Amino acid sequence: MPAPKTRGLLRDGRALALVIAAIVIALDRWSKLWIVHNIRMGHARTIVPGVFRLTHVLNTGAAFSLFEGSTSPATVRNLLIAFSVFAVMVVLVLLWKFAREFSLVTFSLALILGGALGNLYDRVRYSHVVDFLEVHIVHYHWPDFNIADSAICIGACLLLIEMLRPQHDAKR
């Protein structure tokens, strides 16, 4: 006999998704504030020599510093804010419609929501995003990123995995 379902918010995956998004936002804010107060702008602390450093750089562009050198930074900022607001709205609608039961999709959307809100906060408040995770793999240098970027990428990868996974017939 199946176990009885819990009632209310404990059963609703949307509530847990919002908690996960809030945790991502809190970790993102804390990490950025720590960097701002402990590493001078343009400097770095080596964690694993030749592989990983904590840096302090400001990104006024999009992912991977796209549009960073734009001749119209205010326009880029406003477009990025508008895109982020749109993305947050889409994720909220998806959570509302499809996350009644907690699943990998719910978790993925929660990560994306938290990351998008974390970077949106920075763009609105400071006109830039603090990036601080620098990775080198052999001769490849990955552009600096942050916790919010990581949450978005992990959430998107998990969604992709879920979409590519074979779906089982609902009757089985």
Identify whether 12 is a catalytic site residue: no
3-state SS, residue 86? helix
Lookup: tokens for 146: 């942050």
Q: Do 147 and 27 form a contact (C-beta atoms < 8 A)? A: yes
Lookup: tokens for 27: 């970790």
Catalytic residue, chosen from 28, 122, 131, 144, is 131
Strands (E), the chain: 44-48, 52-59, 129-137, 140-145
CA distance linking residue 128 with residue 61, whole number of Å? 8
Catalytic residue, chosen from 28, 122, 144, 149, is 149
Identify whether 149 is a catalytic site residue: yes
Three-point CA angle 111, 155, 95, nearest 5°:
60
Contacting residues for 134 by C-beta, under 8 A, at least 6 apart: 44, 52, 53, 54, 55, 141, 142, 144
Length, in residues, of the chain: 172
Which of the residues are catalytic?
131, 149
